[in-house]
Amino acid sequence: MTKRFLVPEVVQTSGMDCGPAALSCLLRGFGIMASYGRLREACQTDVDGTSINTLEDTARLLGLDVVQLMVPPERVVRHLPAIVVVRLPSGMLHFVVVWRQHGRFLQIMDPAVGRRWVRADRFLDEIYVHTHRLPDGATVQGAVLVRVNGLGTVDWDRLPADLRAALTEPPPRPLIKMIRPVPWGVLALAAVLAAIGVTVEALLFREVINGRFGPLLGLVAGLFVLETLVALGAAKLGRGLDLGLRRMLLGRLPLLPDRYLHSRPTSDLAERAHRLHQLRELPALGTEVVRTLTEIVSVVVAIALIDFGSALPAVIAAVTAVGASLAVHPVIAERDLRQRSHSGALARFFLDGMLGLTTLRAHTAEEVVTAEHDRRLRHWAASGRALARAVVSAEALQRICGVGAAAWLVWQARDHEPATFLLLAFWAVSLPTLAARLGRLTRQWPWHRNVTHRLVEPLAAPLENQPAESQPHDRGVSLTLRQVSVLAGGHTVLDGLDLTVTAGERIAIVGASGSGKSTLIGLLLGWQVPAGGTVLVDDAPLDPALLRQSTAWVDPSVWLWNTSLVDNLRYGNTVSDVTQAMVEAELAAIRADQLGDAGGLVSGGEGQRVRLGRALLRSNVRLVLLDEPFRGLDPAQRDRMLSRLDAWWPDATVLMVTHDAREALTFSRMLVLERGRIVEDGSPASSTRLRRLVEEQTDSRAMLDGWRKIEVGR
């Protein structure tokens, strides 16, 4: 199959989803329909985005003949179609699909906004130039892209389950479930009648000149009622969309898998929640588009009915005015995109500056920040001026074309009686105005479309399987990992892991930062899906949702709510008496009535003990996952808490991630991870690696204790 002439539009639904959206666009362009949601999961997108290597591998598996290249930026147009890496005004990298070249213009699908047309020389400024170091020490620079040579083959036997689902799953249409055809059809019909009524109203004004007021007054009264009904109907449908989406989201959010929520930045989800009310504007926008188009058509028809000789000038006037508006739309849309990008970059810069204000002052970095702010401000101002020039030029062009066609129409009607001449002149002048209104409405549509896609995207996300209620057990779980690999953002985090854990074992997991310790915990919780290998729990395939029912988890990322201490302890638990948990976690000293958002009103150590107390209230615990559970606690508290682990969960299997080598000595078994692999598995007491690490940490503590004893004189 040959590729399409127009590149399919796939708008990203999250700030970090440009990779899966670009890949979905390429596949559709060659006739391969793949679920965007499933592609997103298959590409292992995390908050750091998707790597171009992952896009290349996934495209090849799904039936495209692709190759990754690095070429001089000016030669990118010779390798189309392709996914190309560009740099946004904010400095972040971004994937776009460069589809075809049309003379001096490129047809591009930008996942942030959809299809756009960009001059080739202007696009060169957007391309990211990557520097690659060769083995001999030399460096080369160039644009990074994934070029499509054509269709390949799909090996269904080797295709992973998630990619097989991407090819077979029907495309979701969640917005259709929220739109009832009858009310929307009635609203569109009312808008058409109101537009026709305005044209008829102008006709009746001619009768006023002849002294007859009755028909006009009756029509004005009818239009008033109709306009009121249209406005009320659009507002009601808008409220229905808004409230309906909120209800559907509230019912669906608890069923979304953890990976879906963890792979989206908090700022992105917060932005969607903030923009929910903007769905109310869709019916009004659609009504205005239908009404404006109807008015243009009805004016042309009315002119033809009154004076058939003026029909051709009227049609040309309408087509010229509307065509001029649509012709300049890509130019304005491109500049509007640049303005929005620079505005977003400037806004994020302000936010980052406020969040890091204390650090900036501590490092006396005000001049550096001011210089960067001035640079971004200049870019924002330049993009604003370019947009203003484009809008003014477009409107001037549109007015010139419209006025020229209107003048021709007026000249054709010069021989009519005064009343008819005035009516035809009024309609001739109104056509450019209606076309300008249609142009403004069409410029709003891409933005509203993107917002709507982002808002309804959670409704199309795959749901987590809801397991049956777990049965009580009097022993811990057994775990078996065979050649397990995990990818995150296209990078291997766990590499061919083999591990066997018997029921009731207590294992310490140590290793440098980035070695894969927390990823191993996240794998059991369901945040990560193995890219290869097998995970068994009690000799059955891992079911994260079922396992979590009998898991106690302590991690600094466990959320604390801005409620009381007791309410935070009871969250997710069914017990009412929290006294024993407060004693065991040493929480009696906390005096705050409210813990604050994310525990902001308590210290780090107090917040961690609240998380520990919440885990102690879990019932039917068979697996305990502790990721730095004693962070922020003083050494005496750490020792006391560590000594109570066996009493807290006597029969459960315990895995504890720690950076403190001394804590690992209290366990019977220890795993040491390096670069996603287990490099040591055995008794901590016999580990020379652990003994050396304990000595290094002891020396570091002694040095810090010495610093604390220094007295600063006045």
Global pTM value: 0.62
**Does residue 471 or residue 235 have the better pLDDT?**
235
Answer whether 576's CB lies under 8 Å from 588's CB. no
Count of Cβ atoms closer than 10 Å to residue 91 Cβ: 11
Tell me the C-alpha distance between 608 and 21, whole Å: 39
Q: What's the mean pLDDT in 23-35?
A: 88
Rg (CA), the chain: 33
Task: Quote the tokens at residue 260.
Answer: 């879906």
Question: Residue 25: which of 99, 131, 128, 105 has the closest Cα?
Answer: 99
The 3-state secondary structure of 343-380, one letter per residue: HHHHHHHHHHHHHCHHHHHHCCCHHHHHHHHHHHHHHH
Going from the C-alpha of 214 to that of each of 201, 541, 598, the distances in angstroms are: 12, 81, 69
657: left (phi over 0), alpha (psi -120 to 50) or beta: beta
9-13, 323-327, 468-472 — most confident range:
9-13
Domains annotated on the chain, with CATH: 17-168 (3.90.70.10), 174-460 (1.20.1560.10), 479-708 (3.40.50.300)
- pLDDT digits 0-9 by tens, 134-179: 777 788 889 999 999 988 888 887 777 778 877 887 766 666 666 6
Give the span between the Cα atoms of 612 and 601, in whole angstroms: 17
Give CA–CA dist 239/233, Å, rounded. Answer: 10
* Single-letter code of the amino acid located at 557: S
The whole-angstrom separation of Cα 370 and Cα 300 is 57
DSSP state of 49: B
At residue 276, the pLDDT reads: 79
Q: What phi and psi values does residue 592 have, to the nearest 5 degrees?
A: -70, 130
Mention every residue, 6+ apart, whose C-beta is less than 8 A from residue 267. Answer: 15
Annotate 143-159 with three-state secondary structure: EEEEEEEEECCCCCCCC
- CA atoms of 99 and 525, how far apart (whole Å): 41
What value does the mean pLDDT take over residues 52-66? 88
3-class secondary structure, 117: strand
Q: How far apart are CA 529 and CA 43, in angstroms?
A: 11
pLDDT, tens only, 288-326: 888 888 988 888 888 888 877 777 777 877 777 677 666
- 619-675 residue pLDDT tens: 889 999 999 888 888 888 888 888 888 899 998 999 999 877 778 888 889 998 888
pLDDT at 552: 93
Contact 550, 470 (CB under 8 A): yes
- Quick one: pLDDT band at residue 87, thresholds 50, 70, 90? confident
Closest CA to 566 of 556, 574, 557, 576: 576
- What Å distances lie between residue 238 and 179, 183, 229, 285, 444, CA to CA? 10, 11, 14, 10, 17
Q: How far is CA 605 from CA 585, 630, 633, in A?
A: 11, 8, 5
Polymer length in residues for the chain: 714
The alpha helices in 617-680, defined as continuous H runs, are 635-643, 645-648, 661-664
Read off the tokens for 149. 């040579």
| Residue 462 in this model has a pLDDT that exceeds 80 | no
**What is the pLDDT confidence band of residue 82, given thresholds at 50, 70 and 90?**
very high
pLDDT band at 468 (very low <50, low <70, confident <90, very high): low
Give the confidence band of 704 by pLDDT, cuts at 50, 70, 90.
very low
Does 47 score more than 60 pLDDT? no
Question: Is 202 within 8 Å of 195 (Cβ atoms)?
Answer: no
Long-range CB pairs of 24-27, under 8 A, 24+ apart, other chains included: 25/97, 25/109, 25/111, 26/59, 26/64, 26/81, 26/83, 26/97, 26/148, 27/59, 27/62, 27/63, 27/64
* Mean pLDDT over each residue of the chain, to the nearest integer: 80
pLDDT at 713: 43
Rounded Cα distance between 533 and 521, Å, is 16
Are the CB atoms for 548 and 554 separated by under 8 Å?
no
Helices 281-306 and 181-209 pack at an angle, to 10 degrees, of 40
**Nearest 5°: phi and psi at 365?**
-100, 20
- Eight-class DSSP state of 468: P
**Strand 93-102 and strand 82-87: pairing?**
antiparallel
